Chains A and B, each alone.
Chain A
């Protein structure tokens, strides 16, 4: 590669090589390190690339920088020209990325230094994270409020390994995150010892199955193209995470003089793909002629504008809408908002950006039958026509099975739903015959009554166990709503397995009222994603609230410290049911199928599923990391007053946590 045949006068690799050899033989080292200003013509003598780490080399990785650089002449000689990582910062700044949540690591120390000293630690501002999974999930949550991606830096091997589950969640949830991993690619020059253990031929391999694109730039010009390309790919629907492997040498070396400075490509957003006009027309024809059309949405609305478009389409057809909850697609306050069971009577169903169309129109019962695999059955009439608009069809990979079971669809469109909606709305307007308009209006009247009846049933169900201790999940959710209802609130986590009460009872009608779920259901998303979303809401002057599950928080609780450190206000109300409750039920189910009692081992749930004995004092955990916190709250009468205190704290700019003992679901 050209970079290797055209070395700067004194580079990091030569310096580190020199350090290593110097430990073995001072005389040899003297001939290895070129003096500043020496010509490239005479190649340096060959030295082995993998000497055992000397004291100096080990210090370079594990000791303080001062220990590793005691020679003032050599130190001065290293500062030559513009550092490559300064140029990288220029590239990053061109994309207006506001924050950089990251856990620091030596493989990106050069760009780290450039970001905070050359770049002034602004756009992006470095946010100190305690786990790479937290950093990526913060970026995940941030995007779902801000609509802009964040950059995160990872140690190339161990850091990406930590980050991998959060990257998978972002992939499944169609959220862009720019993941950059530091790596010492050049085995002939990388320092031995820890940096070598932390290097790999292809660090991106671990996330390639669940990223849209990745690259390994080998020059600064390559970096600028790759970074802007990565951003552009990530931000073209279907959104998704991208990865760049960033060579440590490329970061640390000065820019070489090849004439003109490398250019930074201008970012121009790519228009999202729209549905084929013929398919849109056919879909409109089916919908306009349907007796009982149903709209099912999951990640259809990418912005608030998408919500407005869905309302237009639904009202035009007076069609019931099922919001699967991947995003806040459709106002819960609208009379056309409906439960999933309404697919049963549909004659035409249009699914938009569905995670699992099969499961919308079929049911699976985990009842142990058919050799233990359970029972499948259809939920719809046999002649029901199905229409799909999904951009995910443009980006399916082989290994991970997030594309779900195969569902035959009559009119499938590989397209972005929100981008297709304007054309679909116009086509439906044209396709509705005049003699159908009265029938469509009548359909709306029936929907209004069904909505009112469903609301009353849901509220009565919420009243059950209202005064119970531990506190019912309905009470938890509605006490929380009562405390935030007069604020510009935003529910910024998965709802925490609380029987969907927020989606059933909170009057969500704005896009930011609910950010949807994790996508991949990788536990540990909730806490960091809520902190990331709260960061975005902080900048918009909104109040962030999360229902925080106990098991989820314990995956990487260090994100609490990050929130306190960076003054991110968030009200976290814990759904502390003292167990991995999904697994509590799974193990019990299997015990029943096998006709034997479950071994509880002294806990409430089967062995291995409870989080009790001892009980975790989450309020003390949060307090230790700079949060205002209170708990454990077991009496429902104490919850309202505690929430009032906590809301006041959050309004003052601090995060606050309430540890509430709750019913299981």
Chain B
């Protein structure tokens, strides 16, 4: 039983990696941050990560400086943790690439030391 399970995992991982490579290949040129912003809202990423990917108690920060697209794709498709997986039927590869572009476009936050309210006396 365990072997069968592991075999499934291996096959699944190979398929997932193939999908990731396809995304990274096809998405590099097409990714559009503006479209990505709309897709980010439409697919509900904002629900746990906030509208600008800032994160919070429900989900970690995604921006600025998101993880590379292949790693993000692998995680989104195969998540078994608190985040539910988004399969391609729900979140197409192009949308995922656009979302990544949107997250990349979000400017870096200021150093907290420069924000007086985050340094109360």
A interface vs B, CB < 8 Å? Answer: 365-369, 375, 456, 459-466, 468, 470, 472-475, 478-479, 481-482, 485, 497, 499-500, 505, 507, 581, 584-585, 588-589, 591-593, 595-598, 600, 604-605, 663-665
14 extra interface residue pairs, beta carbon distance < 8 Å, beyond A369-B80, A595-B90 = A367-B84, A460-B112, A463-B111, A463-B118, A465-B50, A465-B51, A466-B110, A468-B50, A474-B54, A497-B57, A591-B90, A596-B90, A604-B41, A605-B47
A375 to B48, CA, bound (A): 20
Closest A residue by C-beta to B84: A592
**What residues of B have a CB within 8 angstroms of the CB of A596 in the complex?**
89-90
Distance in Å: Cβ of B35 to nearest Cβ of chain A? 17
* Contact A589/B50 with A462-B118, A463-B118 known, Cβ cut-off 8 Å: no
Distance in Å: Cβ of B3 to nearest Cβ of chain A? 19
Distance in Å: Cβ of A377 to nearest Cβ of chain B? 11
Please give me the 9 A-B residue pairs with the lowest Cβ-Cβ distance, nearest first: A465-B54, A592-B84, A464-B54, A499-B56, A499-B57, A459-B112, A665-B56, A463-B112, A478-B117
**What residues of B have a CB within 8 angstroms of the CB of A375 in the complex?**
80
Chain B residues 76-110 with CB under 8 Å of chain A are 79-82, 84-87, 89-90, 109-110
A481 to B55, CA, bound (A): 21
Inter-subunit contact A466/B41 (CB<8 Å): no
**What residues of A have a CB within 8 angstroms of the CB of B41 in the complex?**
604
Inter-subunit contact A466/B115 (CB<8 Å): yes
Distance in Å: Cβ of A235 to nearest Cβ of chain B? 35
Identify A581's interface contact among B47, B82, B118, CB under 8 A: B47
Inter-subunit contact B82/A367 (CB<8 Å): yes
Inter-subunit contact B51/A663 (CB<8 Å): yes
Inter-subunit contact A367/B54 (CB<8 Å): no
Identify B52's interface contact among A366, A465, A585, A588, CB under 8 A: A465
Q: For the complex, would chain B's binding face be called helix, strand, loop or mixed by DSSP majority?
A: loop
**A-B contacts, CB under 8 A, total:** 118
Inter-subunit contact A463/B115 (CB<8 Å): yes
B46 at the A interface (CB under 8 A): yes
A663 to B109, CA, bound (A): 16
Inter-subunit contact B112/A664 (CB<8 Å): no
Inter-subunit contact A459/B118 (CB<8 Å): yes
B18 at the A interface (CB under 8 A): no
Inter-subunit contact B50/A472 (CB<8 Å): yes
Distance in Å: Cβ of A314 to nearest Cβ of chain B? 24
**What residues of A have a CB within 8 angstroms of the CB of B120 in the complex?**
478, 481-482, 485, 507
Distance in Å: Cβ of B77 to nearest Cβ of chain A? 11
Inter-subunit contact B48/A461 (CB<8 Å): no
Distance in Å: Cβ of B104 to nearest Cβ of chain A? 15
B interface vs A, CB < 8 Å? Answer: 41-42, 44, 46-48, 50-59, 61, 63, 79-82, 84-87, 89-90, 109-112, 115, 117-120
Closest B residue by C-beta to A593: B84
Inter-subunit contact A461/B55 (CB<8 Å): yes
Distance in Å: Cβ of B79 to nearest Cβ of chain A? 8
A589 to B110, CA, bound (A): 32
**A-B residue pairs in contact (CB < 8 Å), sample of 18:** A367-B84, A456-B112, A461-B55, A463-B110, A464-B109, A465-B52, A465-B53, A465-B54, A468-B54, A470-B51, A482-B120, A584-B44, A588-B47, A591-B90, A595-B90, A605-B44, A663-B54, A665-B56
Closest B residue by C-beta to A369: B80
Max count, chain A CB within 10 A of own CB: residue among B48, B63, B81: B48
Inter-subunit contact A595/B52 (CB<8 Å): no
A507 to B119, CA, bound (A): 11
Inter-subunit contact A584/B50 (CB<8 Å): no
**What residues of B have a CB within 8 angstroms of the CB of A585 in the complex?**
47-48, 58
Max count, chain B CB within 10 A of own CB: residue among A505, A588, A592, A604: A592
Distance in Å: Cβ of A469 to nearest Cβ of chain B? 9
Inter-subunit contact A472/B54 (CB<8 Å): yes
Closest A residue by C-beta to B79: A367
Identify A468's interface contact among B44, B51, B57, B85, CB under 8 A: B51
A604 to B43, CA, bound (A): 10
Distance in Å: Cβ of A400 to nearest Cβ of chain B? 26
**What residues of A have a CB within 8 angstroms of the CB of B44 in the complex?**
584, 588, 598, 605
* Contact A368/B47 with A463-B110, A592-B90 known, Cβ cut-off 8 Å: no
**What residues of B have a CB within 8 angstroms of the CB of A507 in the complex?**
120
A596 to B53, CA, bound (A): 23
**What residues of A have a CB within 8 angstroms of the CB of B118 in the complex?**
459, 462-463, 478, 505
Max count, chain B CB within 10 A of own CB: residue among A462, A475, A581: A462
**What residues of B have a CB within 8 angstroms of the CB of A591 in the complex?**
90
Inter-subunit contact B61/A461 (CB<8 Å): yes
**What residues of A have a CB within 8 angstroms of the CB of B112 in the complex?**
456, 459-460, 462-463
A663 to B82, CA, bound (A): 20
**What residues of A have a CB within 8 angstroms of the CB of B87 in the complex?**
592, 595
* Contact A460/B58 with A365-B82, A468-B51, A584-B47 known, Cβ cut-off 8 Å: no
